Amino acid sequence: MKHRLISLGSLVPFLAAATLVSGVCAVQRDRSVLPTVEGTFSSTVAYDNYQLVEGLGTGWGYACVIATPDKKILFDTGADSPTLISNMEGLDIEPDSMEIVVLSHAHLDHVGGLDGFLQRKGHVTVYIPSSFPNSVRDVITARGEEYEDVTDATEISAGFHTTGEMGGAIIEQSVVLDTPVGSVVITGCAHPGIVSIVARAKEMLPGKEVHFVMGGFHLLSASDSQLTSIIGAFRDLGVQKVAPSHCSGDRCQQLFKEEYGIHYIESGVGHTTIYSRTRPTLTRVGSTLSLSWEPFDTGAYAVQFRDDLLSGKWRNAPGTWPITDTIWTEPDISQVDKRYYRIVSR
Protein backbone atom coordinates (compact mmCIF):
# COMPACT_ATOMS: atom_id res chain seq x y z
CA MET A 1 0.00 0.00 0.00
CA LYS A 2 1.49 3.33 -0.99
CA HIS A 3 0.44 6.85 -0.18
CA ARG A 4 1.67 9.86 -2.07
CA LEU A 5 2.72 12.79 0.12
CA ILE A 6 3.47 16.19 -1.39
CA SER A 7 4.52 19.53 0.08
CA LEU A 8 2.49 22.43 -1.29
CA GLY A 9 4.51 25.28 0.09
CA SER A 10 2.85 28.49 1.18
CA LEU A 11 -0.65 27.57 0.07
CA VAL A 12 -3.11 28.45 2.82
CA PRO A 13 -4.24 25.33 4.70
CA PHE A 14 -7.04 24.51 2.36
CA LEU A 15 -7.60 23.92 -1.33
CA ALA A 16 -9.92 25.47 -3.80
CA ALA A 17 -12.71 24.81 -6.18
CA ALA A 18 -11.37 24.15 -9.64
CA THR A 19 -12.47 23.48 -13.20
CA LEU A 20 -11.52 20.25 -14.93
CA VAL A 21 -9.65 20.80 -18.19
CA SER A 22 -8.45 17.68 -20.04
CA GLY A 23 -8.10 15.77 -16.80
CA VAL A 24 -6.09 18.46 -15.00
CA CYS A 25 -7.53 21.00 -12.57
CA ALA A 26 -5.91 24.37 -12.07
CA VAL A 27 -6.29 25.12 -8.37
CA GLN A 28 -6.75 28.72 -7.26
CA ARG A 29 -5.45 29.95 -3.94
CA ASP A 30 -7.51 31.18 -1.03
CA ARG A 31 -10.54 29.06 -1.79
CA SER A 32 -12.18 26.36 0.18
CA VAL A 33 -13.42 23.24 -1.58
CA LEU A 34 -12.06 20.52 -3.75
CA PRO A 35 -13.37 20.32 -7.31
CA THR A 36 -16.04 18.13 -8.66
CA VAL A 37 -14.81 16.01 -11.52
CA GLU A 38 -16.70 15.27 -14.71
CA GLY A 39 -18.47 11.95 -14.53
CA THR A 40 -18.45 11.73 -10.73
CA PHE A 41 -20.80 12.40 -7.83
CA SER A 42 -20.06 14.96 -5.15
CA SER A 43 -21.78 16.75 -2.27
CA THR A 44 -21.00 20.11 -0.68
CA VAL A 45 -22.72 21.42 2.45
CA ALA A 46 -23.81 24.99 1.70
CA TYR A 47 -25.87 25.74 4.83
CA ASP A 48 -25.51 24.33 8.33
CA ASN A 49 -25.23 25.42 11.94
CA TYR A 50 -21.79 23.78 12.03
CA GLN A 51 -18.91 25.48 10.22
CA LEU A 52 -16.07 23.56 8.58
CA VAL A 53 -14.53 26.35 6.50
CA GLU A 54 -13.77 29.70 8.09
CA GLY A 55 -15.40 32.70 6.46
CA LEU A 56 -18.60 30.92 5.50
CA GLY A 57 -21.88 31.80 7.19
CA THR A 58 -23.79 29.55 9.56
CA GLY A 59 -27.42 29.36 10.62
CA TRP A 60 -29.86 26.83 11.97
CA GLY A 61 -30.80 24.85 8.89
CA TYR A 62 -29.41 22.71 6.11
CA ALA A 63 -28.65 22.83 2.41
CA CYS A 64 -26.41 20.63 0.30
CA VAL A 65 -25.28 21.00 -3.31
CA ILE A 66 -25.11 17.65 -5.09
CA ALA A 67 -23.38 17.10 -8.42
CA THR A 68 -24.09 13.97 -10.44
CA PRO A 69 -22.59 13.07 -13.82
CA ASP A 70 -25.66 14.71 -15.39
CA LYS A 71 -27.10 17.34 -13.05
CA LYS A 72 -26.39 19.92 -10.37
CA ILE A 73 -28.97 19.73 -7.62
CA LEU A 74 -29.72 21.80 -4.53
CA PHE A 75 -31.09 19.73 -1.65
CA ASP A 76 -32.91 22.03 0.79
CA THR A 77 -32.31 25.77 0.98
CA GLY A 78 -31.50 26.55 4.61
CA ALA A 79 -33.36 29.16 6.61
CA ASP A 80 -32.48 32.21 4.51
CA SER A 81 -31.31 32.92 0.99
CA PRO A 82 -28.61 35.55 1.70
CA THR A 83 -26.56 33.10 3.76
CA LEU A 84 -27.18 30.27 1.30
CA ILE A 85 -26.20 32.26 -1.78
CA SER A 86 -23.20 33.86 -0.07
CA ASN A 87 -21.91 30.45 0.98
CA MET A 88 -22.40 29.01 -2.49
CA GLU A 89 -20.47 31.87 -4.03
CA GLY A 90 -17.78 31.56 -1.35
CA LEU A 91 -17.44 27.91 -2.33
CA ASP A 92 -17.17 28.79 -6.03
CA ILE A 93 -20.56 27.23 -6.68
CA GLU A 94 -22.58 29.32 -9.10
CA PRO A 95 -26.24 29.39 -7.98
CA ASP A 96 -27.28 29.74 -11.61
CA SER A 97 -25.77 26.33 -12.35
CA MET A 98 -28.41 24.50 -10.29
CA GLU A 99 -30.90 22.60 -12.45
CA ILE A 100 -33.06 20.91 -9.80
CA VAL A 101 -34.14 21.76 -6.26
CA VAL A 102 -35.28 19.01 -3.88
CA LEU A 103 -36.92 19.92 -0.57
CA SER A 104 -36.93 17.42 2.28
CA HIS A 105 -39.76 18.79 4.44
CA ALA A 106 -41.67 22.00 5.01
CA HIS A 107 -39.88 23.37 8.08
CA LEU A 108 -38.53 26.90 7.72
CA ASP A 109 -34.91 25.93 8.35
CA HIS A 110 -35.04 23.84 5.16
CA VAL A 111 -37.29 25.90 2.88
CA GLY A 112 -36.68 29.43 4.17
CA GLY A 113 -34.13 30.20 1.47
CA LEU A 114 -36.32 28.96 -1.39
CA ASP A 115 -37.98 32.20 -2.49
CA GLY A 116 -34.77 34.22 -2.50
CA PHE A 117 -32.93 31.44 -4.30
CA LEU A 118 -35.62 31.19 -7.00
CA GLN A 119 -35.53 34.97 -7.37
CA ARG A 120 -31.79 34.70 -8.04
CA LYS A 121 -31.93 31.50 -10.08
CA GLY A 122 -34.80 30.71 -12.43
CA HIS A 123 -35.53 27.76 -14.70
CA VAL A 124 -35.43 24.95 -12.15
CA THR A 125 -37.87 22.21 -11.24
CA VAL A 126 -38.59 21.86 -7.53
CA TYR A 127 -39.37 18.38 -6.19
CA ILE A 128 -41.49 18.47 -3.04
CA PRO A 129 -43.29 15.85 -0.94
CA SER A 130 -46.93 15.60 -2.01
CA SER A 131 -48.00 16.49 1.52
CA PHE A 132 -46.40 19.96 1.35
CA PRO A 133 -48.67 22.91 2.10
CA ASN A 134 -49.90 24.88 -0.90
CA SER A 135 -48.06 27.93 0.40
CA VAL A 136 -44.80 26.38 -0.80
CA ARG A 137 -46.29 25.65 -4.23
CA ASP A 138 -47.45 29.28 -4.36
CA VAL A 139 -43.90 30.48 -3.74
CA ILE A 140 -42.63 28.31 -6.59
CA THR A 141 -45.28 29.25 -9.13
CA ALA A 142 -45.11 32.95 -8.20
CA ARG A 143 -41.51 32.88 -9.41
CA GLY A 144 -42.61 31.21 -12.66
CA GLU A 145 -41.08 27.86 -11.77
CA GLU A 146 -42.48 24.34 -11.90
CA TYR A 147 -42.81 21.77 -9.13
CA GLU A 148 -43.23 18.03 -9.02
CA ASP A 149 -45.05 16.30 -6.18
CA VAL A 150 -43.25 13.22 -4.85
CA THR A 151 -45.01 10.39 -3.07
CA ASP A 152 -43.06 7.20 -3.78
CA ALA A 153 -39.38 6.42 -4.10
CA THR A 154 -38.26 7.92 -7.40
CA GLU A 155 -35.12 8.25 -9.51
CA ILE A 156 -35.20 11.96 -10.35
CA SER A 157 -32.02 11.88 -12.42
CA ALA A 158 -29.53 9.15 -13.27
CA GLY A 159 -28.14 7.92 -9.96
CA PHE A 160 -30.09 10.49 -7.93
CA HIS A 161 -33.02 9.04 -5.98
CA THR A 162 -35.53 10.29 -3.44
CA THR A 163 -36.86 7.95 -0.78
CA GLY A 164 -40.32 9.33 -1.38
CA GLU A 165 -42.51 10.41 1.50
CA MET A 166 -41.71 8.84 4.85
CA GLY A 167 -42.94 9.47 8.38
CA GLY A 168 -46.17 10.26 10.16
CA ALA A 169 -46.61 13.56 11.97
CA ILE A 170 -43.81 15.12 9.92
CA ILE A 171 -43.51 13.87 6.34
CA GLU A 172 -40.04 13.99 4.83
CA GLN A 173 -38.07 12.75 1.85
CA SER A 174 -34.33 12.06 1.80
CA VAL A 175 -31.78 11.68 -1.00
CA VAL A 176 -30.03 8.46 -2.01
CA LEU A 177 -27.13 8.58 -4.48
CA ASP A 178 -26.10 5.50 -6.47
CA THR A 179 -22.36 6.17 -6.71
CA PRO A 180 -19.38 4.05 -7.83
CA VAL A 181 -18.37 3.54 -4.18
CA GLY A 182 -21.81 2.53 -2.91
CA SER A 183 -24.99 4.28 -1.89
CA VAL A 184 -24.83 7.69 -0.21
CA VAL A 185 -27.73 8.80 1.99
CA ILE A 186 -28.25 12.53 2.61
CA THR A 187 -30.94 13.58 5.07
CA GLY A 188 -32.43 16.95 5.88
CA CYS A 189 -33.68 16.30 9.42
CA ALA A 190 -34.52 12.57 9.45
CA HIS A 191 -37.83 13.10 11.24
CA PRO A 192 -39.07 9.66 10.06
CA GLY A 193 -36.09 8.10 11.88
CA ILE A 194 -32.56 7.90 10.55
CA VAL A 195 -32.46 4.11 10.80
CA SER A 196 -35.72 3.79 8.83
CA ILE A 197 -34.32 6.08 6.14
CA VAL A 198 -31.11 4.05 5.77
CA ALA A 199 -33.16 0.84 5.65
CA ARG A 200 -35.31 2.36 2.87
CA ALA A 201 -32.13 3.26 0.96
CA LYS A 202 -30.95 -0.36 1.13
CA GLU A 203 -34.33 -1.52 -0.17
CA MET A 204 -34.13 0.96 -3.04
CA LEU A 205 -30.65 -0.12 -4.15
CA PRO A 206 -30.45 -3.84 -3.32
CA GLY A 207 -26.95 -5.25 -3.33
CA LYS A 208 -25.36 -1.82 -2.78
CA GLU A 209 -23.29 -1.18 0.32
CA VAL A 210 -24.19 1.97 2.25
CA HIS A 211 -20.95 3.88 1.82
CA PHE A 212 -21.90 7.10 3.60
CA VAL A 213 -24.73 8.68 5.60
CA MET A 214 -24.67 12.46 6.17
CA GLY A 215 -26.94 15.34 7.13
CA GLY A 216 -29.35 15.96 10.00
CA PHE A 217 -30.10 12.89 12.12
CA HIS A 218 -32.64 14.62 14.44
CA LEU A 219 -31.14 13.18 17.62
CA LEU A 220 -30.68 16.29 19.77
CA SER A 221 -32.83 14.94 22.59
CA ALA A 222 -31.92 11.25 22.25
CA SER A 223 -30.58 9.48 25.34
CA ASP A 224 -27.28 7.63 25.34
CA SER A 225 -29.10 4.30 25.26
CA GLN A 226 -31.12 5.42 22.25
CA LEU A 227 -28.00 6.68 20.49
CA THR A 228 -26.17 3.43 21.22
CA SER A 229 -29.08 1.46 19.76
CA ILE A 230 -29.10 3.61 16.63
CA ILE A 231 -25.35 3.25 16.17
CA GLY A 232 -25.74 -0.51 16.50
CA ALA A 233 -28.46 -0.45 13.84
CA PHE A 234 -26.09 1.47 11.55
CA ARG A 235 -23.54 -1.29 11.98
CA ASP A 236 -26.18 -3.93 11.29
CA LEU A 237 -27.14 -2.09 8.11
CA GLY A 238 -23.50 -2.00 7.02
CA VAL A 239 -23.06 1.78 7.06
CA GLN A 240 -19.37 2.42 6.37
CA LYS A 241 -18.95 6.15 7.08
CA VAL A 242 -21.03 8.80 8.83
CA ALA A 243 -21.20 12.60 9.05
CA PRO A 244 -24.03 13.73 11.33
CA SER A 245 -24.59 17.49 11.43
CA HIS A 246 -27.35 20.12 11.73
CA CYS A 247 -29.98 18.71 14.16
CA SER A 248 -27.98 15.61 15.13
CA GLY A 249 -26.67 17.00 18.41
CA ASP A 250 -23.21 17.17 19.96
CA ARG A 251 -23.69 13.99 21.98
CA CYS A 252 -24.79 12.12 18.87
CA GLN A 253 -21.65 13.27 17.10
CA GLN A 254 -19.47 12.27 20.04
CA LEU A 255 -20.83 8.73 20.29
CA PHE A 256 -20.76 8.15 16.52
CA LYS A 257 -17.17 9.40 16.49
CA GLU A 258 -16.20 7.00 19.28
CA GLU A 259 -17.75 4.08 17.38
CA TYR A 260 -16.66 4.94 13.84
CA GLY A 261 -13.22 6.39 14.59
CA ILE A 262 -11.43 7.29 11.37
CA HIS A 263 -14.65 6.66 9.46
CA TYR A 264 -16.44 9.45 11.30
CA ILE A 265 -16.41 12.57 9.12
CA GLU A 266 -16.51 16.08 10.55
CA SER A 267 -19.17 17.97 8.62
CA GLY A 268 -20.49 21.49 8.36
CA VAL A 269 -20.62 24.37 5.92
CA GLY A 270 -17.94 23.80 3.29
CA HIS A 271 -17.67 20.02 3.70
CA THR A 272 -17.14 18.56 0.23
CA THR A 273 -16.96 14.89 -0.66
CA ILE A 274 -16.20 13.39 -4.07
CA TYR A 275 -17.56 9.87 -4.55
CA SER A 276 -15.32 8.40 -7.21
CA ARG A 277 -12.89 5.54 -7.68
CA THR A 278 -10.05 7.85 -8.54
CA ARG A 279 -6.88 9.11 -6.90
CA PRO A 280 -5.92 12.79 -6.99
CA THR A 281 -2.33 13.88 -7.63
CA LEU A 282 -1.12 17.40 -6.91
CA THR A 283 1.77 19.01 -8.76
CA ARG A 284 3.32 22.45 -8.54
CA VAL A 285 4.89 24.46 -11.37
CA GLY A 286 6.06 27.80 -10.04
CA SER A 287 3.14 29.31 -8.17
CA THR A 288 0.52 27.21 -9.99
CA LEU A 289 -0.96 24.12 -8.39
CA SER A 290 -2.65 21.46 -10.49
CA LEU A 291 -4.84 18.55 -9.51
CA SER A 292 -4.95 15.57 -11.88
CA TRP A 293 -6.81 12.30 -11.56
CA GLU A 294 -5.86 8.72 -12.30
CA PRO A 295 -7.83 5.48 -11.87
CA PHE A 296 -7.49 4.01 -8.40
CA ASP A 297 -9.70 1.70 -6.39
CA THR A 298 -10.68 4.11 -3.65
CA GLY A 299 -13.56 6.39 -2.83
CA ALA A 300 -11.84 8.35 -0.08
CA TYR A 301 -8.83 10.64 0.19
CA ALA A 302 -7.62 13.55 2.22
CA VAL A 303 -5.37 16.55 1.97
CA GLN A 304 -3.63 17.15 5.29
CA PHE A 305 -1.05 19.63 6.51
CA ARG A 306 1.23 20.45 9.41
CA ASP A 307 4.00 22.98 9.97
CA ASP A 308 6.51 20.66 11.65
CA LEU A 309 7.49 17.45 9.92
CA LEU A 310 8.57 15.56 13.03
CA SER A 311 6.01 16.71 15.56
CA GLY A 312 2.49 18.00 15.74
CA LYS A 313 -0.70 16.47 14.47
CA TRP A 314 -1.59 16.21 10.81
CA ARG A 315 -4.71 18.34 10.26
CA ASN A 316 -7.29 17.91 7.57
CA ALA A 317 -7.46 20.76 5.08
CA PRO A 318 -11.09 21.96 5.29
CA GLY A 319 -13.35 20.77 2.52
CA THR A 320 -11.49 17.50 2.04
CA TRP A 321 -12.28 13.92 2.96
CA PRO A 322 -10.70 12.98 6.30
CA ILE A 323 -8.07 10.33 6.84
CA THR A 324 -9.21 6.77 6.24
CA ASP A 325 -6.07 4.78 7.01
CA THR A 326 -3.44 4.92 9.72
CA ILE A 327 -0.64 2.96 8.04
CA TRP A 328 1.81 4.90 5.90
CA THR A 329 4.54 3.50 3.66
CA GLU A 330 7.17 4.94 1.33
CA PRO A 331 6.60 8.57 2.29
CA ASP A 332 7.99 11.28 0.02
CA ILE A 333 7.98 14.55 1.94
CA SER A 334 9.90 17.73 1.15
CA GLN A 335 9.80 21.11 2.84
CA VAL A 336 8.74 24.28 1.08
CA ASP A 337 8.05 27.46 3.05
CA LYS A 338 7.88 25.46 6.29
CA ARG A 339 4.54 23.82 5.60
CA TYR A 340 4.05 20.19 4.71
CA TYR A 341 1.06 18.76 2.84
CA ARG A 342 0.22 15.22 1.98
CA ILE A 343 -2.40 13.48 -0.13
CA VAL A 344 -3.81 10.39 1.50
CA SER A 345 -5.49 7.65 -0.48
CA ARG A 346 -6.56 4.22 0.68
Q: What is the pLDDT of residues 211-231, one digit of tens each?
A: 999 999 999 999 999 999 999
Kindly report the average pLDDT of the chain as a whole number.
78
Residue 5 has pLDDT above 60, yes or no: no
**Helix 194-204 and helix 224-237, axial crossing angle in degrees, nearest 10:** 10
For range 72-94, the mean pLDDT: 95
Q: Report domain extents, the chain.
A: 1-38+299-346, 40-275
Q: Is 147 helix (H, G, I), strand (E, B) or coil?
A: strand
**Residue 3: what pLDDT?**
30
Residue 314 has pLDDT above 80, yes or no: no
**Residue 275: what pLDDT?**
81
Residue 242 has pLDDT above 90, yes or no: yes
More reliable by pLDDT, 26 or 265: 265
pLDDT band at 271 (very low <50, low <70, confident <90, very high): confident
pLDDT band at 86 (very low <50, low <70, confident <90, very high): very high
pLDDT band at 26 (very low <50, low <70, confident <90, very high): very low
pTM score, whole prediction: 0.75
pLDDT band at 149 (very low <50, low <70, confident <90, very high): very high
pLDDT band at 274 (very low <50, low <70, confident <90, very high): confident
DSSP 317: P
For the ranges 86-95, 110-119, 195-204, the lowest mean pLDDT is seen at 86-95
For domain 40-275, the CATH architecture is 4-Layer Sandwich (3.60)
DSSP 74: E
First-to-last alpha carbon distance for the chain, in angstroms, is: 8
CA 140 to chain centre: 25
More reliable by pLDDT, 153 or 341: 153
Cite the DSSP H helix spans in the chain.
81-90, 108-111, 114-120, 134-142, 194-204, 224-237, 250-260
**Residue 299: what pLDDT?**
44
For range 123-152, the mean pLDDT: 97
Of 183, 180, 178, nearest to 278 by C-alpha is 180
Number of H helices, E strands in the chain: 7, 20
For range 99-112, the mean pLDDT: 98
**Residue 236: what pLDDT?**
97
Percent of the chain with pLDDT over 90: 59
pLDDT band at 306 (very low <50, low <70, confident <90, very high): low
Of 3, 61, 70, 96, nearest to 341 by C-alpha is 3
pLDDT band at 319 (very low <50, low <70, confident <90, very high): very low
